[in-house]
């Protein structure tokens, strides 16, 4: 029972971190703008393609993350500090509503820019690398995969009903939700940087 509660707590923690950094609410205005002239069926196709692309990218980094770290001889401490800095910059950009995409043709928008970099960007990939490298066990990887699937499903539903959500919540509310997510990201960034610095200090004195 205790193990199940620990796994559930870890799953929720991973899920919240992924949804926060993916921040689908901040992508709503851009997504609605890109797809406003499309029919409902075309929008659904784009949402499905984008969702599969998001999941494929995230799973690729889940299984190849450790290989990437070993290939470049990157320590967990340095990855935490570097990743934390990236997340902090992204959080500041999101607070300032910096544009994260350009206008593209409808047939090309599912993967780029909607799946990446609009939703699954450098921050998401860095987070996945950190989560996989912090505890290299099969159980941790399985929990992370479930969290990734849940985060993608959540994003898919938000995009699917984007038009109704924007009308219901209004653009100002959607932007407020996006900014709230950016605060969570900034908090995660501070925690990552602090843990990275602490690990460096401990290794220096040992």
pLDDT per residue, tens digit, the chain (206 aa), is 778 888 999 999 999 999 998 988 877 877 877 787 788 899 999 999 999 999 999 999 899 877 877 888 877 788 788 878 877 887 787 676 554 444 455 556 788 778 987 798 777 888 898 888 777 789 999 999 999 999 999 999 999 998 787 777 776 776 777 677 778 778 878 888 898 898 888 887 76
Q: Is the dihedral of CA 59, 65, 66, 68 positive or negative?
A: positive
DSSP code of 105? Answer: -
pTM for the structure as a whole: 0.76
Rounded to an integer, what distance in angstroms lies between the CA atom of residue 123 and that of residue 151? 15
CB contact set of 83 (below 8 Å; sequence gap of 6+): 126, 127, 129, 130, 192
DSSP code of 108? Answer: G
Domain range list for the chain: 2-18+28-205
């Amino acid at each position: 029972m205790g193990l199940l509660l620990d796994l559930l707590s870890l799953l929720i923690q991973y899920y919240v971190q992924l949804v926060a950094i993916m921040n689908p609410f901040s992508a709503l205005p851009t997504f609605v703008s890109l797809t406003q002239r499309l029919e409902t069926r075309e929008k659904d196709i784009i949402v499905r393609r984008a969702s599969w692309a998001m999941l494929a990218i995230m799973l690729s980094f889940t299984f190849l993350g450790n290989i990437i770290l070993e290939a470049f001889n990157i320590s967990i401490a340095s990855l935490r500090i570097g990743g934390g800095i990236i997340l902090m910059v992204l959080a500041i950009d999101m607070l300032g509503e910096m544009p994260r995409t350009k206008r593209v043709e409808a047939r090309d928008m599912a993967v780029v820019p909607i799946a990446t970099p609009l939703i699954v960007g450098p921050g998401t990939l860095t987070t996945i690398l950190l989560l996989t490298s912090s505890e290299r066990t099969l159980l941790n990887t399985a929990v992370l995969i479930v969290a990734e699937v849940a985060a993608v499903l959540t994003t898919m539903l938000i995009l699917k009903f984007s038009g109704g959500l924007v009308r219901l919540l209004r653009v100002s509310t959607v932007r407020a939700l996006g900014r709230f997510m950016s605060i969570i990201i900034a908090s995660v960034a501070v925690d990552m940087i602090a843990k990275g610095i602490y690990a460096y200090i401990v290794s220096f004195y040992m």
